[in-house]
Amino acid sequence: MIPSTIVDLVNQLIKKTQNNELDWSYDHENSSIFLELPQSNLTVNLRYRFDEVYECGIFFINFNLNKVDYYFDAKEGYDDEYFILKNLYDLAQSSHFQKSFSAIKI
């Protein structure tokens, strides 16, 4: 379970990502997205992996605020917050793609 204050922060990140206000980096080899907000002394790293023990997907989110790390995770089928993190992951990944794709004329 992810604390409600963290869920609120993730929802703010979702909204700002939808509004193209955030510039995420995507690492396809590690299935992770990364955001650095120097003005807030905040970095966010969200990573996905399949857990063979639980036989489900897990999102791991790490916030580094003022050089202090905070770690949270959500398991598919176990934690309601899984879908909130999945939404952020998908939006952040596609926001990077949309910027690259917008230059293509069809």
- The domain limits of the chain are 4-96
Say how many C-beta atoms besides its own lie within 10 A of residue 38's C-beta: 7
Half-sphere exposure of 38 (CA within 13 A, CB side): 0
User: pTM of the predicted model, to two decimals?
Assistant: 0.88
List, edge to edge, every strand of the sheet that includes 56-65: 25-27, 32-37, 42-51, 56-65, 68-75
Instruction: Spell out the per-residue pLDDT of the chain, length 106, in tens.
Output: 899 999 999 999 999 999 989 989 999 899 999 999 989 999 999 999 999 998 999 999 999 999 999 999 999 999 999 999 999 999 999 886 666 666 666 6
Half-sphere exposure of 31 (CA within 13 A, CB side): 9
CA 45 distance to own-chain centroid: 6
How does DSSP classify residue 12?
H
Report residue 8 as tokens: 């609120």
